[in-house]
Amino acid sequence: MQAGAGNGALRGGIDLGGTKIQAAIVSPTGEVSGEARRPTPAEGGPQDVANEMARAVVQAADAAGVQTDSLAGIGVGSPGDSNEETGEVSEASNLPGWSGSFPLGRTLSDALGAPVRVANDVDVATNAEFKLGAGKPYRSLLGVFWGTGVGGGVILDGKRWLGRGAAGEIGHMVVERGGARCPCGRRGCMEAYAGRKAMEAKARREYADGAKTKLFEIMEEHGRDRLTSGIWERAIEHGDKLAEKLIERALKALGAGVASAVNLLDVEAVIIGGGLGVRFGQPYAEKIAAETHKHLFVDDRPPAIHVAALGDLGGAIGASLLFDE
Ligand SMILES: [Zn+2]
C-alpha cells in the first residue's frame, strides 16, 4: 500500500473512454460520494485529454466536498497499452493524437497533488465486478466486455492476472483460422464476429449487396451515424432478419472464445459486460452460456455466467480499487 493510503481515506477513480471521461470519489468499500462526467476531447492530443481528466476529478471532488490532494490516491482505467509500473499509456488509438507514449500518471499526479496509478480499463472493470459486483462469490473469473470490441479481464485465485501486461485479450482468441478480418488487422478473431464495429461493417457490406434490413433506417430515425447497442436491440425487437443473423453469428463466436478460455483456465464464473452485453442482459448471457457449453471439454460443471452488475460507474469504481492492492 502507498504511503498515506489509510483504510478510511477516499480514493479517486477515472474511467477514460473514447467518448466520455467518468470520474468518481469512492470510499474503500466502494461507496461513491461524488462523481462527474465530461466528454473526451475529439481533437488535440494526450495533454488535452489529461487536462479534461483532471477537471473531471476536481468536479467530482467538489461534489464530494473534498480537495483532490487529500485523496489517498487516484486510479485510472485507460484504453490502449497502460504500463502499471510507469503510468505511461501508449497506442490509445481511440483517443485523439495518442499514437506514441504519454506519461499520464505523472501528468495527473502533478495536476491533482495525489499519487496516481494507471491500468487497463477492462482489467479494472473486471476487478470491480470481482470485488463489488456480480463476481463477488468467486475466487476466479473471466470478464468479457462485449461492446465496440470485445475486451477481457482475468482474475485467478483472487488476483488480477496481467501476464506480462497484455493478458486478457479474449477478443483476439482465434475462433476461425483464416476467418473474417478483425479490426486488429488479423483474421478469425472472436472480435471479428462479435465486436460491434466489425458487426456494423459486415451489416453495411450485406446491405450494399442488397440484403433487406431495418438497421440503417432505425439508425437514421434515431439521428445516429453508427449502429449503437440500442439500435441492434430495436432491430431485433422488429424481427429484423439481418440483425438476427449477425447477432446469432456473434453469439456463436462468443461461445467458442469463452469456452476456449474456460477450457484453459477452468474459472468459476464468466461476467458479461460492455455496451451490448449489458443492453442485451440476462437472456443473452444465457444464450452465450448455451453456445459456450457446446465447446466445453468438461461439460458437467460449466462456469456460472452473469451480467455485470455495476453499470456505468463500474470502470471508475474499479480504477479507485487500484489503491487497495
Ligand atoms: Zn483481432
Query: What residues pack around ion ligand 1 (CB closer than 5 A)?
Result: 172, 182, 184, 186, 189
Q: Give me ligand 1 centre to Cα 163, in Å.
A: 18
Q: Scan for cell 505523472, then name that residue.
A: 106
Three-class SS state of 88: coil
Average pLDDT, the chain: 94
Q: Give me ligand 1 centre to Cα 218, in Å.
A: 28
Q: Give me ligand 1 centre to Cα 30, in Å.
A: 34
- The answer on pLDDT for 266 being more than 50 is yes
Which of the pair, 59 or 29, is modelled with greater confidence? 59
Q: Give me ligand 1 centre to Cα 315, in Å.
A: 23
Q: Give me ligand 1 centre to Cα 188, in Å.
A: 7
Tell me the mean pLDDT in the region 174-179.
98
**CA gap 96, 162 in Å, rounded:** 26
**CA gap 301, 297 in Å, rounded:** 10
Q: Quick one: what percent of the chain has pLDDT higher than 70?
A: 97
Which of the pair, 291 or 19, is modelled with greater confidence? 291
Q: Give me ligand 1 centre to Cα 185, in Å.
A: 6
Q: Give me ligand 1 centre to Cα 276, in Å.
A: 18
Structural contact between residues 215 and 243, judged by C-beta atoms closer than 8 angstroms: yes
Tens digit of pLDDT for each residue in 185-232?
A: 999 999 999 999 999 999 999 999 999 999 999 999 999 999 999 999
Q: Give me ligand 1 centre to Cα 198, in Å.
A: 10
Tens digit of pLDDT for each residue in 55-84?
A: 999 999 999 999 999 999 999 999 988 999
Tell me which residue of 293, 290, 257, 294 sits closest to 174, measured CA to CA. 257
Q: Give me ligand 1 centre to Cα 192, in Å.
A: 6
3-state secondary structure 195-226: CHHHHHHHHHHHHHCCCCCCHHHHHHHCCCCC
Q: Give me ligand 1 centre to Cα 189, in Å.
A: 5
